[in-house]
Amino acid sequence: MGVCFTGMRKKWKEARRYWLINAAILFSAILVIGGTQEQEVYAENSDPNIFVHGLTGFGYGELGPKLRYWGGTTQNIIGDLTNKGYSSMEAVVSPFGSNWDRAIELYYYIKGGTVDYGAAHAEKHGHERYGRTLPGIYPQWSGENRVHLIGHSQGGQTSRMLDTLLREGSVEEQEYARANGLELPEIFSGSKTWVRSITAIATPHNGTQVASLAKGLLHEVIYGSAFIANSSVVNLTYDFKLDQWGLKQFPGETKKNYLRRVFSSKVWHANEDIVLYDLTTEGAMKLNEQTSLSSDVYYFSFSGNATYKGVFSNNYYPSITVFPLYSIPAAYIGATGGREWRQNDGLVPVISALYPFGQSYKAADGNPTAGMWYVEPTIQGWEHMDFVGQDYTQAPFLKRSVQNFYQNIVVRNRSL
């Protein structure tokens, strides 16, 4: 049998180019991020940092003792920051709820009380008005005791929604309460500047092309989380926190049957009050129109890029460091939409993570200004889950870089 040495040399050159490009991306990330020094602590405010998870997020202990949303299996980001003197707390909201519902849950998770999604909102979307009763992780929250919101992925959108609701309230809920003689929940009354800053990390401010694949990937994303947590899929204990939609686990119901019932629920279809809509470009555009910036609040954004441009095309391809679960969406985004939408972190296009279209912004220049987005340079080589230490293949190598990343955020927050 003959051997085509010309073909072999060509394939070897292509493979070598592929590995060199990805090695360069990883090396650049190490140089740019890994060498960051911890900043000196100086206090101008003592407001706590409230961490808000994104899509499929969970609280510590929900997927077993080995996995944290903020730190994966290699570190405890929130605990480490608190131990260093930066008060930091984890907020837990629905992993699949709409940004409105999640914002309401976030309010009560911080302040405490029975979750009230709003009478007008509940009637409009056909779910229960009230949710769980929560003790509150910072019940003294007020204009005198403000907070810094740090949101990863959808957590950034949710934080923006809450900030706007606190300041502007909801005219729809106010009018509905007056017309029906109802007491208006405090969150809908407005005039509350309770947020000092918002840091949006790898947030799809303008949506993502991959949202159209989300329904098909839903099972894989959940099962992937179980795999990372080293749990059995059948025995997976996962709290969807969609009680308002009737998706509670019944007494005696097996975990497997519960998951099957959740996945087959009509809530995922033709419903704008759910995450699968909010992450589309259309849903994100509506959110951008509903949210605003305050001259009293600082807004920061971070983006990552874990793709490289094809040699003979305008497509972008996932680097070898991308977690396998996100290679397919990374490649899909890299080949979809206009050229400016193709660089991505595996789930979110770079252009979407920079700032919400239509809102004021400026590139980072060492002088953050309240009332506009302060856009940090895109971190080359970091994929979506590297930002929270959940890419178990990369987490051990990026552990120090991730620590420095959050250290720098909370140091800056304290100085505001």
Please list the active-site residues: 153, 345, 384
Q: Which amino acid is at 397?
A: F
Beta bridge partner(s), residue 380? 305
Length of the chain as a residue count? 416
Q: Which of 41, 31, 26 is nearest to 408 (CA)?
A: 41
Rounded to 5°, the CA angle 202-209-323 comes to 55
For residue 191 the two structure tokens come to 């005039």
DSSP readout, 252-283? T--HHHHHHHHHT-GGGSS-SSBHHHHTSHHH
CB contact set of 44 (below 8 Å; sequence gap of 6+): 414, 415, 416
Q: Which amino acid is at 131?
A: G
Tokens 């092309």, located at residue: 209
Beta bridge partner(s), residue 49? 88, 148
CB contact set of 77 (below 8 Å; sequence gap of 6+): 51, 68, 70, 71, 388, 389, 402, 403, 406
* Whole-angstrom distance, CA of residue 222 vs CA of residue 256: 13
Q: Tell me 68's DSSP state.
A: B
For residue 377 the two structure tokens come to 């340079």
